[in-house]
Structure 1
Amino acid sequence: MQPVTIGIAGWALPRADADLFPPSSFGSNLARYAAVFDAVEINSSFYRPHKPETYARWADNVPAGFRFAVKLPKSITHEKRLQDIEAELDQFATEAGALGDKLGWILVQTPPSLRFDPAAVAALFAGLGERFGTEPGDGKRGRLRLACEARHGSWFDDEATALLSKMDVIRVVADPPAGEPGPFVATSEDAAYVRLHGSPQIYRSVYEPERLAQVAAWLRPRGDQALVIFDNTMSGTQVRQAAQLRQMLTSSPDIAP
């Protein structure tokens, strides 16, 4: 089984971790980052659009096999709340589609106040599938995956779970979860998307080795269909912790999930 994919939210390189990356003469910060990690999560797309040329340039800065996870714009999820979003989806597809086959995941994060609406949710993921050519259930490594980090409890009932499963949407494991999500039930048997925001203090907390070992044990059987992103970027430890988790995943398991 291939290893779990590990990355960071963004490719800022902490000065304290400079020794883990090639020197600045190697190229851009993204190129240096991609020499160490196999994936990165782009959150800036949530706040503002990026030109197709920008995405294309990013794709050119990373090697074959590197993949981007791109967060869906808040104009779709938070402002229009999944209603009348055809134009916004078209724009996003034109922009992020410039990543080509290096686009690995589209991350949909909904606000804590947004209740599950089956018609709207089905239309959203069908619309993304049509624009990006996702094929639910084909089981091919490297294909684009859709992931959802919902934060209202209604997104975790049986109806929501069944719909996300049918549409092959990965339910994100978020630590800590925001809003009032319900009990976690996986919606994909062969894939996982884990976002480690830092707990208990979001973005700032450092994960203890014991907690990372638990995460590693949960991820290990999922192999190359699992992505874990360290989003505790204000802690300054995200790079070291990602490297620590990777080391744990390549060693023998010692803590049960």
Structure 2
Amino acid sequence: MPIIATAGWSIPKNIADRFATEGSSLTRYASVLNVVEINSTFYRRHKRSTFARWADAVPDSFQFAVKMPKDITHTHAMKCVAGAFSTFIEDIEPLGKKRGPLLCQMPPSLAFDAGIESAFQAMRDCDDGTIVVEARHESWTSADALKLLNTYALDRVFADPSPVWKADEFETPPKYLRLHGRPKIYYSSYTADEIRSFSDMVASDGWCVFDNTAAGAAIDNALTVLEDL
């Protein structure tokens, strides 16, 4: 059964009655959904105590996917990232067994270059957990790019809209879907048929993350999936 999540745990008022009424937003979110993607780590660094508090606020079975800081993917464009990545891993350590995949979302301007291998090597030297890569430059469709990802056991993200890897380019069901909304990215809600097609596409143990959060559609879409399971 796929793992259904949203990017962040904000609960719109119009569906608040479908969640627990007591506790923090995260605790209430966790009363219905058992995984979430942390996006705020992309924009700013959090204290270790913050991750510890989040971990304490959810059940033992709950998991957090964590987005890598833009300092790694954007500012340094995946060059000389060993120190920054090590710091990131130390920061999120309090999540413990509740830590899920790490999301490496690269900027649209970042083309594939064999030199990027040093970044992936640094990541694997530091961490052997699940890392998923959301590339957004078409050069990442090359055979060399795919070979490098496989070498370091990095899973490709299927994104919608899909700027790089299309659905028919996955030999096996993708293990991580990020659904940004269409036609208006981050805002548009998906139809029931679209949601069903995504549910059928993702690996049985894969993550399906709704990132169309700007107008509150993500939670509603996630609940639609849960109702169909």
TM-score range (shorter-chain normalised) is over 0.9
Question: Quick check: 1:193 aligned with 2:191?
Answer: no
C-alpha distance in 2 between matches for 1:11 and 1:31: 9
C-alpha distance in 2 between matches for 1:66 and 1:156: 33
Match of 2:100 among 101, 104, 109: 104
C-alpha distance in 1 between matches for 2:55 and 2:113: 35
- Name the SS of the counterpart of 2:149 in structure 1: helix
- Name the SS of the counterpart of 2:178 in structure 1: strand
Instruction: State the match for 2:220 in structure 1.
Output: 240
Mapped contact 1:170–1:186 kept (Cα < 8 A): no
Instruction: State the match for 1:31 in structure 2.
Output: 27
Any stretches of 5+ residues in structure 2 without a counterpart? none
Instruction: State the match for 1:7 in structure 2.
Output: 5
Instruction: State the match for 1:150 in structure 2.
Output: 135
Paired residues, number: 228
Any stretches of 5+ residues in structure 1 without a counterpart? 135-143, 251-257
Q: 2:185 corresponds to which letter in structure 1?
A: I
Question: Quick check: 1:124 aligned with 2:119?
Answer: yes
Instruction: State the match for 1:72 in structure 2.
Output: 68
C-alpha distance in 1 between matches for 2:120 and 2:58: 28
Q: 1:5 corresponds to which letter in structure 2?
A: I
CA offset at residue 169 of structure 1?
Answer: 1.1
- Name the SS of the counterpart of 1:235 in structure 2: coil
C-alpha distance in 2 between matches for 1:190 and 1:51: 36
In structure 2, the CA distance between the partners of 1:59 and 1:191, relative to structure 1 (3 Å rule), is farther
Instruction: State the match for 1:255 in structure 2.
Output: none
- Name the SS of the counterpart of 1:84 in structure 2: coil
Q: TM-score, normalised by structure 1?
A: 0.83
Q: TM-score, normalised by structure 2?
A: 0.93
CA offset at residue 237 of structure 1?
Answer: 2.4
CA offset at residue 191 of structure 1?
Answer: 5.3
CA offset at residue 247 of structure 1?
Answer: 2.3
* Aligned Cα root-mean-square deviation (Å): 1.7
Q: 1:213 corresponds to which letter in structure 2?
A: R
C-alpha distance in 2 between matches for 1:65 and 1:129: 25
Query: What's the CA shift string for 1:151-206, capped at 9, x where partnerless?
Result: 1111111111112122221111111135xx2545337x475100111011001111
Q: 1:173 corresponds to which letter in structure 2?
A: F
- Name the SS of the counterpart of 1:204 in structure 2: coil
- Name the SS of the counterpart of 1:108 in structure 2: strand
Give the fraction of aligned pairs with identical amino acids, expressed as a percent: 39
C-alpha distance in 1 between matches for 2:106 and 2:26: 28
Mapped contact 1:154–1:182 kept (Cα < 8 A): no
In structure 2, the CA distance between the partners of 1:240 and 1:84, relative to structure 1 (3 Å rule), is same
